[in-house]
Amino acid sequence: MVYRTATGAGLPGQFTIRAPNESEPSAVTTETKLYAITASRLRDGAVIYFAGKQTWSVKFADSAIAPDGDALLAEAAAGPPPLEAVGAYVIEVTQAEGIIRPVGLREEIRAFGPTA
Amino acid sequence: MYRYDEFDRRFLDERVAQYRDQVRRRLAGQLSEEEFRPLRLRNGLYLQLHAYMYRIAIPYGTLSPAQLRMLGHVARKYDRGYGHFTTRQNMQFNWIKLDESPDIMADLASVEMHSIQTSGNCIRNTTSDPFAGVADDEIEDPRPYCEIIRQWSTLHPEFSWLPRKFKIAVSASKKDRAAVHVHDIGLYLVRNAEGEVGFQVLIGGGLGRTPIMAKVLREFLPKKDLLSYLEAALRVYNEYGRRDNIYKARIKILVQSLGIDKMREAVDAEWAKMDHTPLDLDNETVRAIIAHFAPPAYAAVGKDDDAVFQAAVASDRKFARWMKYNVAHHKQPGYAIATVSLKPLGTPPGDITAEQLDLLAELSETYGFGEVRVTHEQNVVFPDVRRSDLPAFYNALAAAGLGTANIGLASDIIACPGLDYCTLANARSIPVAEKLGEHLADREEEVGPMKIKISGCINACGHHHVGHIGILGVDKNGEEFYQITVGGSADEQSAVGGIVGRAVSSDQVNDAVDKLLDVYVRMRCEGEDLPATYRRVGPEPFKEAVYGAH
Ligand code: SF4
């Protein structure tokens, strides 16, 4: 499964996201939809993100992202610990100038907290 | 107030132990989420956007000082220092951890509170008039009947798996302060031609996707028959209510499809078959429950009482305004009903901090008989304040940021948690309420009584359908929009508001509401509230004001 984390550089052998001013095409274009996996943590209901390699993080920035959300979800579901994540689902994310953000207000609020 | 008996205590202790074991097994992986979810929901624990949300029942909205302090303790120890009063007189905590929830349940049990039946397809917390027992237009105190319904419906084996949730409200005044018409069953205490007191029974009210006002099922039901008749109505619903479609499962849809006459026939037929004797409300147990609600020992009016109070009104403009809007007439001379607004400008409606909960507990002991009521409009009522104590009471509230004088005005907005917390939401409610309340504060006295209600989705927890002005959050391609209704009412003249036009963006809400208020102020007759003006002039002037001529 190819993925990179939202903040870090792409892992070796994986795709990189083309920045708007990049001249060389890459495997993934800005038009390519990207996805991450989110869930609630069983113990306390905290919002968590699949961070790859069978780990979950409370930070959106640690999210593993990939163009194939279903495959990413399958990878998240396959690995231990099976108890940590409740109700995992795929969310769309966008990137602009290297910053990845969740798409839609609901996921923004989940990622960054209540607005009021 | 009602005090738990041995049965209540034992059942609650057993439930805490069962729930603790269920949570342990879930955390140990012995129960799947599918298996565990109905168990936690039965105990009032929801999984929301950021954390678990714990909904605690406040039977007919009544709280003792010990219970207020316990809610403060829960806020402080298990949450982020505050809680939220809901439109069903309950309390919700938004930042709860699953592994701590059994401890919360045990702590609550120590003050005779719980969260059982605050979720699930069962009979929920019975709500009532927050002025119960002290309103001067009341036929009889409705609280004993709420308590009787609470005892009957708690763990009722036949009604634990109804087609859908079931909500009952009871009121005894001509002025409906309990939104009785929008409940699955609404009960008004009334007097018949012979002067006997009984219940007018309404059925099939509700908001949500299909807002319907309840219809009269029975004009007069003798008090002793209350439970047997409720049981007959619930049996009919349990048998014929739809279970194949969640959107058509509430009793309002059954009543709508059968028609009220057929519904009445079905209930009466069921009632005729039943042995009423075990449920007759004419026995020692019932009399003992009623005795719990005996009026407190009111003091005689002191000869200087009024002078103290009048001097404060004359010398303190803020107090005078608070008196005007937050204080109501009490049936006992020398006493007043005071409502504490939980709508200070720019704050989430219904939110209260742990410190404020502690303060209310203390004030209820100093300025009352140790009891407060939560209202469905998300405020808190002190039912028995001596008029001579009102200035000191107000000063104590104001010092804690609880002296807002806006009850019944435009900034006294009802709002559900919306998209900031709720998994079902389409749009945010709280920021809209905060901004609108601040925006309208300067003109709210000119506008006069006004009910603005906001829901973050069609489930209508914020009762938007019955707001004089209702605001419903909708999602359009991932963006928040707000559909505005006008002319709704939740009181005895209950009505669903009419949609003004296409939904507006969040930036346009304040302006649209201003325009609706302009029309109302311009066109109202003397003493008319907005729904009355709307009924008289129709929707066009309101539509035109917001969207221009069309
Ligand atoms: S009305 Fe909708 S958004 Fe608001 S609390 Fe109810 S379910 Fe949630």
Q: What is the ipTM of this complex?
A: 0.91
Sign of CA dihedral B267, B268, B274, B275: positive
**A2 CA: distance to closest CA in chain B (Å):** 28
In three-state secondary structure terms, B376 is: coil
B421–chain A Cβ distance below 8 A for any pair: yes
Residues 6+ apart with CB under 8 A from A99: none
Task: Say how many C-beta atoms besides its own lie within 10 A of residue B66's C-beta.
Answer: 13
Is residue B432 within 8 angstroms of chain A, CB to CB? no
CA distances from B99 to B20, B26, B263 (A): 9, 10, 45
B52 and chain A: CB distance < 8 Å anywhere?
Answer: yes
User: Distance from B105 to chain A by nearest Cα, in Å?
Assistant: 16
B419 touches chain A (CB under 8 A): yes
Domain ranges across chain B: 6-109, 134-292, 303-399, 414-547
Q: How much is the pTM? A: 0.93
Is B499 close to ligand 1, i.e. is its CB under 6 Å away? no
CA of B163 to the centre of ligand 1 (A): 20
The Cα of B149 is separated from the nearest Cα of chain A by a number of Å equal to 34
Mean pLDDT calculated for residue range B58-70: 97
State the distance from the centre of ligand 1 to the C-alpha of B503, rounded, in angstroms: 18
Q: For an interface test with B, which of A44, A84, A92, A93 has the most B Cβ atoms less than 10 Å from its Cβ? A: A44
Contact B65, B73 (CB under 8 A): no
Q: Does the C-beta of B410 come closer than 6 Å to ligand 1?
A: no
Count each helix (H run) and each strand (E run) in chain B, helices first.
18, 21
**B522 touches A: beta carbon within 8 Å:** no
Pocket test for ligand 1, best of B461, B466, B471 (most atoms within 8 A of CB): B461
* B458 Cβ closer than 6 Å to some ligand 1 atom: no
Say if residue B324's pLDDT is above 60: yes
Alpha helices in chain A, H assignment, sequence order: 69-78, 105-112
Phi-psi region of B253 (alpha: psi -120 to 50; beta: other; left: phi over 0): alpha
Q: Please determine, for residue B383, whether its predicted confidence score (pLDDT) is greater than 90.
A: yes
**pLDDT per residue as tens digits for the range B346-371:** 999 999 999 999 999 999 999 999 99
Whether A43 sits inside 8 A of B98 (CB atoms) is yes
Q: List CB contacts (< 8 A) between A33 and chain B.
A: none
pLDDT at A80: 67
Second CATH level (architecture) for the domain B414-547: 2-Layer Sandwich (3.30)
Determine whether the shortest distance from the Cβ of B148 to ligand 1 is under 6 A.
Answer: no
Say whether B414-547 and B134-292 share the same fold.
yes
Taking a C-beta distance cutoff of 8 angstroms, is the pair B237, B162 a contact? yes
- Please compute the mean of the pLDDT values over residues B253-259 and round it to a whole number: 97
How is chain A split into domains, by residue range?
1-116
Q: Are the Cβ atoms of A116 and B431 closer than 8 angstroms?
A: yes
Pairing of strands B372-374, B127-128: unpaired
Task: Check pLDDT > 90 for residue B159.
Answer: yes
B27/A43 CB distance under 8 A = yes
pLDDT tens per residue across span B23-44: 999 999 999 999 999 999 999 9
User: What is the 8-class DSSP label of residue B208?
Assistant: T
CATH number at B303-399: 3.90.480.20
Model confidence pLDDT, tens digit, residues B300-316: 988 887 888 889 999 99
Q: Would the pLDDT of B182 be above 90?
A: yes
Of B50, B99, B431, the CB nearest to A47: B50
Kindly report, residue by residue over B410-433, the tens digit of the pLDDT.
Answer: 999 999 999 999 999 999 999 999
Average pLDDT over residues A32-58: 95
Tokens 């929301």 belong to B48
B98 touches chain A (CB under 8 A): yes
Residues A105/A88, Cβ–Cβ less than 8 Å:
no
pLDDT at residue A12 greater than cutoff 70: no
Q: What is the pLDDT of residue B173?
A: 92
Give A3→chain B minimum CA distance, Å: 26
Q: Which CATH architecture has domain B134-292?
A: 2-Layer Sandwich (3.30)
- Burial annotation B120-133 (CB, 10 A radius, 16+ → b, else e): bbbbbbbbbbbbbb
Residues in chain A with CB shorter than 8 Å from the CB of B78 are: none
Residue A6 has pLDDT above 60, yes or no: no
Q: Is the peptide bond before B130 cis (omega within 30 degrees of 0)?
A: no
- B82-130 tens-digit pLDDT: 999 999 899 999 999 999 999 999 999 999 999 999 999 999 999 999 9
Q: What is the pLDDT of residue A29?
A: 53
| Ligand 1 within 6 A of CB of B258 | no
Q: Are B349 and A116 in contact (CB under 8 A)?
A: no
Which atom number of ligand 1 is nearest to the Cα of residue B423? 8
pLDDT of residue B386: 95
What separation in angstroms does the CA of B169 have from each of A48, B60, B112, B362, B440?
A: 40, 8, 21, 29, 31
For residue B457, pLDDT over 70 is answered with yes
From the CA of B427, give the closest atom in ligand 1: 3
Interface A–B counts its CB contacts (< 8 A) at 64
What is the model's pLDDT at position A21? Answer: 34
pLDDT confidence of residue A2: 39
Distance from CA of B420 to the nearest CA of A (A): 5
Average pLDDT in the B62-90 region? 97
Give the separation between CA B226 and CA B144, rounded to whole angstroms: 12
Query: Residue B397 class from Cβ within 10 Å (0-12 exposed, 13-18 middle, 19+ buried)?
Result: buried
CATH 3.40.1400 fits B6-109, yes or no: no
